[in-house]
Structure formats: C-alpha cells, structure tokens
C-alpha cells in the first residue's frame, strides 16, 4: 500500500521527476502511485497506491520508481534503501526486499592512462608497437597523428608509417563517463 525509498546523505531528489507505477499481477492492475503525504520528507521518497483495491502491489508484481537526483561531490558508493508497507501501520515493513540494495557510485575522477612502452625516438622503422596501462576499468581508444579514433587495446601495433615525427594518443573513458588520456 505504501513505499519509501531512503535518500542517501548529500543527494537531492527532484520531486517533479518522481514517477511510480506497479505492474499487473494476479488480480492487480497497472497503477500509478502518488505522494504519501509529503512526497519527500525525513530523508525519504514517500509513495502510496492511488486508490482502488486492484491498484496495490500484488505478489509477483513490481513497483518501479523513476526519478532524477543530484549527487554529492564526495566520491563513493551510496545505498538507496527501499521499504514496502501494507495497511495503515506506518512503521511495519511487511515485504522483504529481494536482491541487492540499489547502489549509486559517484565518480568524478578520470582514469589515469600511461604509455608504458613504444619505439625508440628517433626510430628508422616503418612500424611501431605501443603498450599502455590504465588504473581502472575503462574503454580505450587510440589515434595516430589526429586521424580517426578507434577502439584499441594494449599492445597496439602500427605499420606502414611514413618518415617523420608521429603523435600517438590513447584515451580511456570509465563507466561514469570520465576521460583521461596520455600521448
């Protein structure tokens, strides 16, 4: 009949963005849930079923809550603690949440990329092999002399190089979208 989602310290939820719906299950129908009193209070998003008996969350159904939030500046992992309640009791959590507690990772630091090996400078070879490393899980891309950027991995082998200076660049983008590069 009611749901609450604990907002981690430092996060700000945009109340206008909160949308909650239940899926159909057993005798229950798809329904939109509304604010339970004040939508955001006491560090929680507070929701309740809109009305009719068929609009409650039935066994096998899901409650999906979508919203926008601004994270704190401090990097780290933050848990959003859900509660599901039935009836008029305002404190008894009747349903057990199954699965991992929803967690958000705040990451504003770009990955560190380093080229760990390459050809001598100068070199009289028309080929080159570069090795590089990144300090966290990231997608890697490479470019030579500002040409097309392509996904790559270490080692990266280049052939058919013309005489003269060349610039090799490798960049890494982590799952949070932060990009770091080395040349």
Confidence of residue 121 (pLDDT cuts 50, 70, 90): confident
Model confidence at 62: pLDDT above 90? no
**Ranked by mean pLDDT, which of 38-42, 61-65, 90-94 comes out on top?**
38-42
- The percentage of residues in the chain with a pLDDT greater than 90, rounded to a whole number, is 61
Predicted confidence at residue 113, as pLDDT, reads: 95
What is the three-class DSSP state of 150? Answer: strand
Confidence of residue 90 (pLDDT cuts 50, 70, 90): low
pLDDT in tens, 106-118: 999 999 999 999 9
Mean pLDDT (the chain, rounded)? 89
pTM over 0.75: no
Q: How far is C-alpha 138 from the chain's CA centre?
A: 14
| C-alpha to C-alpha distance for 46 and 65, rounded to whole angstroms | 11
Q: Are 2 and 48 in contact (CB under 8 A)?
A: yes
Long-range Cβ contact pairs of 35-39 (< 8 A, separation 24 or more): 36/2, 36/3, 36/4, 39/15
Pairing of strands 19-22, 31-41: antiparallel
Tens-place pLDDT, residues 7-61? 999 999 999 999 998 888 888 888 889 999 999 999 999 998 887 666 677 778 8
Burial class (CB in 10 A: 0-12, 13-18, 19+), 35: middle
How far apart, in whole angstroms, are the C-alpha atoms of residue 28 and residue 42?
30
CB-CB contact of 23 with 54 (8 Å): no
Q: State the Cα–Cα distance between residues 160 and 141, nearest whole angstrom.
A: 20
Tokens of 115: 């080229």
Cα distances from 148 to residues 33, 108, 142, 158, 182, in angstroms, run: 49, 27, 8, 14, 17
């Amino acid at each position: 009949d009611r749901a609450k989602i604990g907002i981690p310290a430092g996060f700000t939820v945009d109340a206008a963005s909160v949308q909650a719906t239940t899926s159909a299950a057993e005798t229950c129908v798809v329904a939109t849930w509304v604010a339970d009193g004040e939508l955001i209070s006491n560090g929680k998003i507070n929701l309740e079923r809109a009305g009719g008996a068929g609009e409650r969350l039935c066994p096998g159904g899901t409650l999906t809550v979508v919203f926008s939030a601004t994270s704190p500046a401090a990097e780290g992992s933050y848990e959003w603690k859900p509660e599901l309640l039935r009836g008029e009791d305002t404190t008894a959590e009747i349903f057990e949440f199954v699965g991992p507690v929803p967690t958000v990772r705040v990451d504003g630091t770009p990955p560190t990329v380093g080229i760990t090996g390459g050809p001598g400078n100068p070199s009289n070879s028309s080929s080159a092999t570069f090795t590089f490393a990144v300090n966290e899980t990231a997608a890697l891309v490479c470019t030579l002399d500002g040409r097309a950027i392509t996904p790559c991995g270490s080692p990266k082998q280049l052939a058919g190089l013309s005489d003269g200076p060349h610039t090799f660049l490798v960049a890494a983008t982590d799952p949070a979208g932060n990009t770091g590069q080395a040349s």
